[in-house]
Structure 1
Amino acid sequence: MIAYPLVWVAMAVCSVSIGRAMNHYGQRVREHWEQHRPEALAALEDPERFFTEAGEELATTIATLSAQLAGPDLPGEMYLEKVARLRNAKATATEIAWAQSGLLQVEASREEWESDTQQTLLGLQEWAWRMQAQLEGLEQTTFSFEETAAEYLLPVPFLKALVAAASPYEFLNEPQNRAVWDRSVEARWAAFQSR
């Protein structure tokens, strides 16, 4: 009879000295980062704390969202129907929480990122031609300089000069303008890596 409380006290002391245990969500994130995001993992000051807190946050988000998606018990709902409703809600909540967390992203190489990004030099040239048509009333689009500046990380005056140019292609190939474009690519690459 005395051994049971002593074991319990020993377990409590061990858990306090070790700290919070990482849940399975945190372990999954850690394993993913070890395999797919080694640079981001190496940059963490306290990986154990980061993954423990990430797992706890995911668990809380999933629990809250599951309850919202499941809703209240339905009148006349049978036991197995309720179990299915709750499981479906948790599965959907889990999928949403993972997607919103961004924790399972894969580090891409610079080449992969450049081939996947929508903000290409050709895309900007196309935007300039269509923006010219919009300003002349020839195209019913809703482009804006501000949105494109935010998307491409380019200054609005630069975009206005691009649209006013006789040839966006030639404008973008002028050395000083190409340098502005190259800085925007570097800034977008840095932003992508820090996500």
Structure 2
Amino acid sequence: MPSTHTVYKIDVLTQSNHWCVFRRYSEFFALDQKLIRVHGIARDLLPPKKLTGNLTAAHIETRREALERYLQKLVNSDHHIAASHELSVFLDVYEHDVCAVMKKLAHHFYLYGDELLEKKIGFCATPDQLYCITKQLKLPVYKSDAVDASYDVGHVYSFVYNVTHMTVSSAIRPLAVSSMRYDLSLFKSSAVLKG
């Protein structure tokens, strides 16, 4: 049965990582509505909906180009929009960008790390998380820019060094890019590793 909608592939490239996300026009529209409501962006940035003939090759290519221009305007606009929670969620930044993933893990380990270590519950990590940990922890010096101490990446250093049980599961989230590599030797105390 032929598809009734088009899915657009978005290549996201940050200073620390590269990944792809797939979005339908309706998801672009939902993002646009949130950005209009929360950040007051112009109402005419997003290309309009087309009710008929929207599955022709010419229309799909024209819309793809317009959606690409739309995203470029957002990421190159005011910092409050470019770094907004709404755009970050849409582009999966919190799941793939090294700094964002590390801050999220740091906060998680700040809240639950001691309990996980004490109860030997372990840690179920995605390949994306392991890639981000590997990339960040191999840097020679880390200077925290976290205003809130719970987001300090030092919590990740401590947890990674002390965790004894770890599971690697791509079932939680698919790989961002197929060439992702990570180093499990950073987990110095891990005695049990499941895949």
Same fold (TM over 0.5): no
Query: TM-score under structure 2 normalisation?
Result: 0.27
Query: TM-score under structure 1 normalisation?
Result: 0.27
| Structure having the larger proportion of residues in strand | 2
